[in-house]
Amino acid sequence: MGGLFAALGDSTRRGGFFALMEKERSIGELAQPLGITLGGLGQHIRVLEAASLVRTRKVGRERRRAIDLDGLERLETFALRTLWRSRFDAPRRVVEE
- Check: CB of residue 66 under 8 Å from CB of residue 57: yes
CATH number at residue 38: 1.10.10.10
Q: How many domains does the chain have?
A: 1
State whether the Cα torsion 71-44-13-37 is positive or negative: negative
Distance CA 53, CA 64 (A): 14
More confident site: 2 or 42: 42
End-to-end CA distance of the chain: 31
- Rounded to two decimals, what is the model's pTM? 0.76
pLDDT digits (tens, 9 = 90+) for 12-44: 999 999 999 999 999 999 998 888 999 999 999
pLDDT over 60 (residue 94): no
Domain span holding position 70: 2-96
41-66: pLDDT as tens digits: 999 999 999 999 999 999 999 999 99
CA distances in angstroms from 5 to 18, 29, 51, 61, 74, listed in the order given:
14, 24, 9, 32, 11
DSSP state of 10: S
Check residue 71 and give its pLDDT.
Answer: 86
Q: Which amino acid is at 34?
A: L
| Cα 68 versus chain centre, distance | 9
